[in-house]
Structure 1
Amino acid sequence: MPNTLPFGTQFSPNQIELPQLLQLIIDNEGDDTAPLITAIVDTFFSTNAVEQQRNMAGNCKNSLVSYGILENGGGVRITAFGRQLHEIADETEQCEALVKHILKNLNGMILIDVLRGMHRNGERISKETVVEALNSRGFDLSRTSNNVPVMKLWLNKAGVLRGWRIDEHKLSELTELSEGEFRLLRTLRPEQYYFLRALCNTASENYQRAADIRQLATATYGITFVESNFSQSVIRPLTDRGLIEIQRATGGHGARTPLVKLTELTKRDIVLPLLQQLEGIIDREVIEYLQKPLEELRTDIDATDSYLKGLALEAFAIRIMRIIGLDFIQTRLKGNETAGAEVDVLFDSSRLLYTRWQVQCKNTHRVSLDQVAKEVGLSHVLKTNAIVIMTTGVVSEKAREYATQIMKTMNLCIIMVEGSDIDAIIAEPTKILEIFNRESLNAKHIKVFE
């Protein structure tokens, strides 16, 4: 499923009446698009400026395609879902059916999850901040698009949202899935996720060999499992979460391979579409940490588990770079773009002029010259203007001397954020401005004309 929300311009419940719009589609089914556009203009946009009317109706028609009510391509062809909507006589039930479709098939549950995290963190919620949060999960939404506000209005009309606030009872009623059950699915590790998705794809209620499902997942999604640790890392966690049932084989070929089947939870219609929505974010565990308060992140940064420390520090970097208005691009960039190397987070900004920032997070007591040199080399590939070295420890003097030489000779700014700076930002987030001003002033002094 693409990481986006459907186009919704001129399709909000503030602009159209769904029963009337569906009837217009039925009345013009099989015809060219032009008569439908005219009918939409006459019904909903006749009071708008004449030169805008047909463009607005065209946007509405395109939104109907994006929301899965009209088929893509020429002419007027209603989808099976659109026909099902039209056959619902009660307007409230019709609206709820559309919203169920949004939640199930159009990334509506990802929007809900983003809002949950923002509420937990006490973040200011607006169209712009929601778009930014979605983009941090791999979406590619313009800040000026109507995708988010139109979906919000439909969720409001059905009672799932009240403003930006979630009505969890209504949401659970429409999806048959509680917040806790959703979280069970969202926090799966990649190997668990793809195994469960492959099992759901079989649509079988019978026990099946776990080894066969594992092979299906590998063939379908290219996921590699560590067979020696398969039961511990995949079967047991899924069983403990109540997502699969397990039965030990008693004899015959492959008797040592356990048998698995779906539980009552994972048999629900919502589960497979929800797993498809989660595909774009399931291997980006940093998302879980983005939803934590800064104080909790600081605790996790000091955890004994180095992997968790890294995730927490990376999430902290994303959170604080947003404070200074940078736009998140992506996290954990690697592969061909970086010649096999890795950079933790990339940001950019188009204010006044375009700049690109790379942020490297280090869970080390001391950042060495070699580590800074690696980031400088990477900046040529990534075409960045600024490098932020963020560490829980300190930056060595040799590394600082090297950074000074680079800034004297190259169009690069290298910013050092040490452990004491992290503590200051945790205590007072706006301290990041003071810290970055300090580093900027340092760069200015280094880059003086001789």
Structure 2
Amino acid sequence: MPRKASAIPVGTGFTPALIDLPAFLEVLVEHSGEPEALEAAVWQPHVRRLTDEPPTPRTRSLPVEAAIQYGLLTKDREATELARSLRALEPTDLYRRFAHHILLRHGGLRVVEGIRQMQADGLRVTGDSLAQFLSAQGFTVSVHNTAINTLRMWLSLAGVFPKGRANAWQISEETVEELIGLDPVSVAALTGLDAAQRGFLAGLCALDPDDWFPAAEIRNWVETTQGVQIGRQSLPKAILAPLRDAGLVEFRTGGTKGGKTSRVRTTAKFRSDVLTPFLETTLRDLDSTVSEYYKERPDDIYAGLTAKERHVRGTALEAYTIHIMRLLGLQFVAWRKRSAQTAHAEVDILMTGLLGGLPTRWQLQCKNTTQRIRLEEVAKEVGLVPVTAASHIMFVANTSFTPDARSFADKIMARSATTIFLLDKTDFAKIRETPTSIASILRKQSEAILRIRSENPFSSP
């Protein structure tokens, strides 16, 4: 199987300890489009620090290859607009602007998010442990590689991390917010937007109106240029309201008479120069919503599950899945269905981690509904196992399961290696009262599963 490409720049031979960035940018621009001259110039003493040994044929090209990965050169070895703009800055501004670029364009914010999650769970952060943690979530970073430490060192020059080895992975949250131009609440809100909402926001960035503007014209632009369809009747509620809640716009509805369109205006928090790269690149790697849910208090989550507003219940349900994941000591892999896609009544995630010293992969579905869980819903999750490669399925619901649903789960476990845990409203209440009770609940169900399998040792489907 071919190795998956690194999600962050490799950057070998391109650390601040080895490269004087202002001088490096000078030679990139000076020898733009001249591959051989570039390779020679980046090894000059005023550019390359620590030049005790001459470069080998392999190491000679590494700084140039790193410059390509970091967006400073094109594949044709021509200086990019980024390189030219950075070259004109004084060192302090240069490092901050480069860090802004790394955070939004090259996975830096995803790395920061991973550190937050590890530290929240009391895990020790090193270059290798962070690479393993991120790779388990599908964000591939090579272990025993300089890439992630190189990225950290460039960000440290802008104050995101401390310089030196002491507390090397301690994040300056204030600096991150200053550099990306978005606070954590806005980042989480943006991450939770669906395709239509992101498309509309991209249209706002492209048109960048400076006053009240017809929302329908933005919608038409998005549908024409991006192929994203936005329902006519749902524009204020489905598109404008979430963007308002994110603090990016305000709007006025046109009313029901005369077919008047809503009008929208951007707020002071709206910055197209920040949002454009965020929408184009950062969101592909990021799920800062997960990081935000790490900060939620259990009492607030449970209160949200019974809120009148449907979107509040949905947000609380997503937070609840992360709460359960953390109680199990597992790691987030991916959302499968978000609450907005399921009328805010259920949400699915994939998780992974060691349980009892063994590697496991989980499908977790949380339901916030008054309807009983039927056989068909359990069967649907079982049918997805070949796609998700899950070893375990877990339902957590504040309702009950039908007898047929429980019987079906037992039959599947008797005839396969798939393990299914069904946690109903009684279990839900126990976990709310005593979070650590999830361990005894799973242990009790595991004992029942062992009995089922011991009674059917050679069963086949």
TM-score normalised over the length of structure 1: 0.74
Identify if the C-alpha distance between structure 1 residues 152 and 293 changes in structure 2 by more than 3 Å, giving closer, same or farther.
Answer: farther
Residue 68 of structure 2 corresponds to: 65
Residue 201 of structure 1 corresponds to: 206
Cα distance in 2 for residues equivalent to 1:122 and 1:382: 25
Residue 274 of structure 1 corresponds to: 278
8 A Cα contact 2:17 2:49, kept in partner: no
8 A Cα contact 2:115 2:130, kept in partner: yes
Amino acid of the residue matched to residue 344 of structure 1?
A: D
Residue 10 of structure 1 corresponds to: 13
Residue 417 of structure 1 corresponds to: 423
Cα distance in 2 for residues equivalent to 1:99 and 1:426: 42
Cα distance in 1 for residues equivalent to 2:429 and 2:34: 65
TM-score normalised over the length of structure 2: 0.73
What is the deviation of 1:386? 2.6
Residue 217 of structure 1 corresponds to: 222
SS at the partner of 1:367?
A: coil
Residue 316 of structure 1 corresponds to: 320
> Is residue 329 of structure 1 aligned with residue 333 of structure 2?
yes
Residue 85 of structure 1 corresponds to: 86
What is the deviation of 1:200? 1.4
Cα distance in 2 for residues equivalent to 1:288 and 1:431: 24
What is the deviation of 1:229? 3.5
Gaps in structure 2 of 5+ consecutive residues: 163-167, 339-345
Residue 32 of structure 1 corresponds to: 35
SS at the partner of 1:388?
A: strand
Cα distance in 1 for residues equivalent to 2:436 and 2:43: 50
SS at the partner of 2:233?
A: helix
What is the deviation of 1:68? 0.9
Gaps in structure 1 of 5+ consecutive residues: 335-341
List per-residue Cα deviations over 1:217-266 (Å, max 9, x = no partner): 223344333322423444466567663466899xxxx9823454544543
- Is the deviation greater in 160-169 or in 385-394? 160-169
What is the deviation of 1:216? 1.4
Amino acid of the residue matched to residue 275 of structure 1?
A: L
- Is the deviation greater in 409-418 or in 199-208? 199-208
- Of all paired residues, the percent bearing the same amino acid is 28
> Is residue 100 of structure 1 aligned with residue 100 of structure 2?
yes
- Is the deviation greater in 149-158 or in 305-314? 305-314
What is the deviation of 1:214? 0.8
SS at the partner of 2:84?
A: helix
What is the deviation of 1:179? 5.2
Residue 385 of structure 2 corresponds to: 379
Identify if the C-alpha distance between structure 1 residues 315 and 262 changes in structure 2 by more than 3 Å, giving closer, same or farther.
Answer: closer
Residue 395 of structure 2 corresponds to: 389
What is the deviation of 1:445? 2.6
- Is the deviation greater in 192-201 or in 426-435? 426-435
Amino acid of the residue matched to residue 413 of structure 2?
A: M
Residue 157 of structure 2 corresponds to: 157
Amino acid of the residue matched to residue 235 of structure 2?
A: F
8 A Cα contact 1:189 1:283, kept in partner: no
Identify if the C-alpha distance between structure 1 residues 93 and 390 changes in structure 2 by more than 3 Å, giving closer, same or farther.
Answer: same
Identify if the C-alpha distance between structure 1 residues 215 and 372 changes in structure 2 by more than 3 Å, giving closer, same or farther.
Answer: same
Identify if the C-alpha distance between structure 1 residues 377 and 5 changes in structure 2 by more than 3 Å, giving closer, same or farther.
Answer: same
Identify if the C-alpha distance between structure 1 residues 362 and 264 changes in structure 2 by more than 3 Å, giving closer, same or farther.
Answer: closer
Identify if the C-alpha distance between structure 1 residues 22 and 247 changes in structure 2 by more than 3 Å, giving closer, same or farther.
Answer: same
For 1:253-268, list aligned pairs within 5 A: 256-267=260-271
Cα distance in 2 for residues equivalent to 1:190 and 1:302: 27
Cα distance in 1 for residues equivalent to 2:169 and 2:199: 32
Cα distance in 2 for residues equivalent to 1:382 and 1:171: 34
Cα distance in 2 for residues equivalent to 1:181 and 1:371: 34
Cα distance in 1 for residues equivalent to 2:389 and 2:408: 20
Partner residue of 1:443 out of 439, 449, 452 = 449
> Is residue 362 of structure 1 aligned with residue 363 of structure 2?
no
Identify if the C-alpha distance between structure 1 residues 222 and 350 changes in structure 2 by more than 3 Å, giving closer, same or farther.
Answer: farther
Identify if the C-alpha distance between structure 1 residues 94 and 279 changes in structure 2 by more than 3 Å, giving closer, same or farther.
Answer: closer
Residue 125 of structure 2 corresponds to: 126
